[in-house]
Amino acid sequence: MAEQQNFDIVVVGGGPGGYVAAIRAAQLGMKTACVEREHLGGICLNWGCIPTKALLRSGEVYHMLHHLDEYGMSAKDVSYDFPKVIKRSRGISGRLSKGVAHLLKKNKVTVIDGHGKLDGPGTLAVEKDGKPVATLKAKHIVLATGARARSLPGMEPNGKTIWTYKEAMVPEAMPKSVLVVGSGAIGIEFASFYHSMGADVTVVEVVDRILPAEDEEISAFALKALTKRGLKIHTGAKVADLKGNGSGVTATVTTKDGKEQSLSVERAILAVGITGNIENLGLDGTKVETDRGHIKIDPWMATGEPGVYAIGDVVGAPWLAHKASHEGVICVERIHGINDVHPLDVTKIPGCTYCTPQVASVGYTEKRAKEAGHNVKVGRFPFIGNGKALALGEPDGMVKTVFDADTGEFLGAHMIGAEVTELIQGYTIARQMEATELDLMHTVFPHPTLSEMMHESVLDAYGRAIHY
């Protein structure tokens, strides 16, 4: 018989939403348990955010080594050890996973290894390998079970030649050619990495532009930049007859003009979205509602079932680790009764794509701002006009800012180019603090930095750009 344990709150899932929620609950004096069936840190730390950035960094270094002449240098016989590239990525993930375990222990969170399933009001049954481990009792249960790669009919991964992000992260050898189906952040990051490492990469996107969540100008800039680097990209196109064989993959690509072309590659990567892990959670018989593979919640992360909450990827877009973490904090602080907790505003959540060039954004796109009824002012500044960008050898990129023309409210920012995933936080703070154009205009930006372009873009929106 499984041991019964009592807690104030139980978090199901140890990813960036779950472990943060558990730690915050413990900080607030709640007796807390975190149930995790695989690896602490979740998909983000073990199979997503962190290891992909390690791979992308290796790709950047390898690419730079082949362009040393641009910096007045040279090197002979440049090569890479692919197993070492993968080993480095996995090592970083392993180190951080141990770090999460340490943080949970430090904060006196009880970690239980197993799969959690609702088993009546205030009860969670935990099992491992089909055997009962524990019965947990808690007034509050937070579901942070994450999501997994989605597959489409006729495009199912086989783990060998047709990959999801997991197989793409740990290949045994470097493929000579790769087809990437989908051009969201995951697809474009893998396309960028494999191209940097020397693969012939083809990207197929069903909608009319890549990175469809981004501002249209940024999408167009990214398409031009990636094509210039040598990637083959088809937008408004479809993949059919995707078949894996012993040595590779064959597919039929229907382009936007209706023409069909046959494609043979060594590997295909499916990046067509994700779906929440809602199966086998004991939701049947509860008032928890789901919609298209995700759990429905109110602004405080509560489900329809009293005492049951959900956060992170399992509740839907945007599927971002930092969004999950913030939801975890909101959820727990609301449960604890903290008065100054505010519902999540997704327009204040930055999005980052770590391809080359990088893409980052926060707030409204120009199109969305207009659709929301704003009369907009738009500013732009190109990387080629910035001294630091030229010194870095990174002249390709732009910064775009969107304001309400009547009130001066800062509505959004959209960036493409070197290190914009770091720069975007400045604009994120501006969104959080409800900045106006005057706040940003009167801020002193250091010189020489890439961040100066953020200032110039604001000035440009009001006809005051100095260097453009």
Same domain, 259 and 201: yes
How far apart are alpha carbons 229 and 193 in whole angstroms? 12
Paired tokens of 252: 């039929």
What DSSP character marks residue 299?
A: T
Specify if 388 maps to a domain.
yes
Q: Can you tell me the mean pLDDT for 311-338?
A: 96
72 pLDDT above the threshold of 70: yes
Confidence class of residue 1 from pLDDT cuts 50, 70 and 90?
low
Neighbours of 78 (CB within 10 A): 11
Query: What token pair was written down for 1?
Result: 């018989």
* Residue 182 counted as domain residue: yes
Of 396, 179, 166, the C-alpha closest to 266 is 179
What would the DSSP string read from start to end of 189-249? HHHHHHHHTT-EEEEE-SSSSSSTTS-HHHHHHHHHHHHHHT-EEESS-EEEEEEE-SS-E
Same domain, yes or no: 97 and 183: no
Residues 416 and 448 in one domain: yes
Q: Are residues 93 and 138 in the same domain?
A: yes
Residues 134 and 191 in one domain: no
Between 39 and 336, the higher pLDDT residue: 336
- Which residue is catalytic, options 66, 67, 102, 447? 447
- To the query of whether residue 447 is one of the catalytic residues in this protein, the response is yes
Domain membership flag for residue 346: no
End position of a domain, from candidates 272, 299, 324: 272
pLDDT value for 150: 87
Are residue 106 and residue 183 in the same domain, yes or no?
no
For residue 466, tell me if it sits in a domain: no
Listed as own residue / partner, the contacts of 242-245 with beta carbons closer than 8 Å and 24 or more positions apart are 242/154, 242/155, 242/162, 242/181, 242/268, 244/158, 244/160, 244/161, 244/162, 244/268, 245/161
Question: Based on the domain organization, do 210 and 319 belong to the same domain?
Answer: no
CA dist., res. 443 & res. 1, Å (int): 64
pLDDT value of position 207: 96
CATH of the domain at 8: 3.50.50.60
Instruction: Count up the domains in the chain and report the number.
Output: 3
What is the spatial distance between Cα 11 and Cα 194, in angstroms, rounded to a whole number? 37
Q: Residues 230, 175: one domain?
A: yes
The pTM (predicted TM-score) of the whole model is 0.95
CB neighbourhood size of 241 (10 A):
13
Q: Determine, yes or no, domain membership for 344.
A: no
Q: Is residue 408 part of a domain?
A: yes
Query: Quick check: is 468 in a domain?
Result: no
pLDDT (tens digit, 9 = 90+) per residue, 23-41?
Answer: 999 999 999 999 999 888 8
Residue 104 to residue 13: CA distance in whole angstroms: 13
- pLDDT tens per residue across span 363-422: 999 999 999 999 999 999 999 999 999 999 999 999 999 999 999 999 999 999 999 999
Read off φ and ψ for residue 70, nearest 5 degrees. -65, -20
- Structure confidence by residue, pLDDT tens digits, 84-126: 999 999 999 999 999 999 999 999 999 999 999 999 999 999 9
> Per-residue pLDDT averaged across 129-155, rounded?
93
Angle formed at CA 322 by CA 339 and CA 279, multiple of 5 degrees: 95
User: Does residue 156 lie within any of the structural domains?
Assistant: no
Angle between helices 49-65 and 82-106 (to 10 degrees): 140
Same domain, 288 and 250: no
DSSP of 57-82:
HHHHHHHHHTTGGGGT---SS----H
Does residue 210 share a domain with residue 131? no
What average pLDDT score do residues 262-289 get? 95
CATH number at residue 368: 3.30.390.30
Q: Does one domain contain both 142 and 7?
A: yes
- End-of-domain residue from the set 272, 287, 316: 272
Q: Residue 201's domain spans which residues?
A: 162-272
The reply to whether 411 and 442 lie within a common domain is: yes
